[in-house]
Each structure stands twice: as C-alpha cells, then as structure tokens.
Amino acid sequence: MTDSPTEHFEHAEHAEHVAHLGDSFLTKVSITIAILAVVAATVGSLETIETAATIGDKNAAVLLQNRATDNWNFYQAKSIKKNLYAIAAAQGGAAADDFKKQSQRYGEDENELFAKGQALEHQTEEKLNDSERHEHRHHILTVSVTFLHIAIAIATISIIIRGRRWPWHTSIALGLAGALGAAYAYL
C-alpha cells in the first residue's frame, strides 16, 4: 500500500481538532486513530523494505547463477582440454610427457573450478532462501497494514456515530491484530 508520508500528521491534526470539542470519548478515539496511523505508516515502511530486499536478493541470486554458469562452462572447457591431452599422451611419442603434464595441469584447474562452481551454487541458494524469507515477511506485513488501515476506518465510524463504543473496540482489536502480525513477521 502506498500512503502519503504525511498521512499520520493529518490524523494527528484531526485528533487535535476533536480534543478541542471537550468530549473525552471522542478524544480517546482520535488518539487511537493517530496511534494506529503511526503504526500503519511504520508497518507500511517495513513492508516496502522487505519488498526491496526480496528484489535485491533475487537479483543477487541471478548474478551469482550467471557467474556459476560461466564457471561451469570454463570447467567443461578445462575438462575437454585435459581429456584431449590425456588421449594425446596415451598415444605415446616424443611429446607424450608434455601432454601428460598438460593433462595434469588442466586436471588441477578442473578441481579448482569444480570447488568454485559448487561455492557459487551454494551462494545462489542462500540468496534465493533470503529472498523467500523477505517475500514471506512482505506478505505478512501486507495483511498487517491492511488490518491497521481497516482499524483506522472503523475508529472513524465511532466518531461519526458518537456514543457507540463497539466500533472503537473493534478498531483496537484490529489494530492489535495488525501490530502483532507485523511483530510475527520478524519471528
């Protein structure tokens, strides 16, 4: 959800206006709305941060996978060269010892590239897991901020229909559900 960064100031202004009316119930409701607005703005910001982290980690995973693919291609090239030199060495002749040394050198390079490829694959998996964790948090925070916005709307109803406390109590319950949901996202 995209809210105005000054929305909570607007709610605070409304609370101040109602406070001047002298009705203690309306003052409590207005303060509740202001608090809910600040919590909703905070949870909305956390939701945005988690979205950005999801995208960042997925991009990092793609880049790491590209590096891993390049590494595996290089590994295959070294493997082919090692095998060609091994075949040439097995044929015998004056250059057989040189071919055998080249084959061994490419074999050592192949082992290093294999280890590097596995490390890059592992890093890719870590980034994908991080991305999934951020995406999961994002979903929870989306629901939480929705509860908070609904709570604000319902609290506003209790101002409109003065004297009725059930909308205010409902808004407090929804606000708590939204705040607890946001906290749960980080457990």
The set of residues, in sequence order, having a beta carbon less than 8 Å from that of 70 and lying 6+ positions away, is none
pLDDT band at 1 (very low <50, low <70, confident <90, very high): very low
For the chain, the average pLDDT equals 90
State which residues form the domain around 142.
Answer: 7-184
Q: What's the predicted TM-score (pTM) here? A: 0.75
Any domain includes 2: no
The model's pLDDT over 150-161, given as tens digits with 9 standing for 90+, comes to: 999 999 999 888
Q: What pLDDT score does 136 carry?
A: 96
- Which of 11, 144, 127 has the alpha carbon at shortest distance from 66? 127
Structural element, H or E, at residue 159 = helix 96-160
Any domain includes 97: yes
Tell me how far apart the alpha carbons of residues 78 and 87 are, in angstroms, rounded to a whole number.
14
CATH number of the domain encompassing residue 157: 1.20.1270
Domain count, the chain: 1
The model's pLDDT over 25-53, given as tens digits with 9 standing for 90+, comes to: 888 999 999 999 999 999 999 999 999 99
3-state SS, residue 78: helix
CA-to-CA separations, 120 to 76, 86, 123, 133, in angstroms, rounded: 16, 29, 5, 20
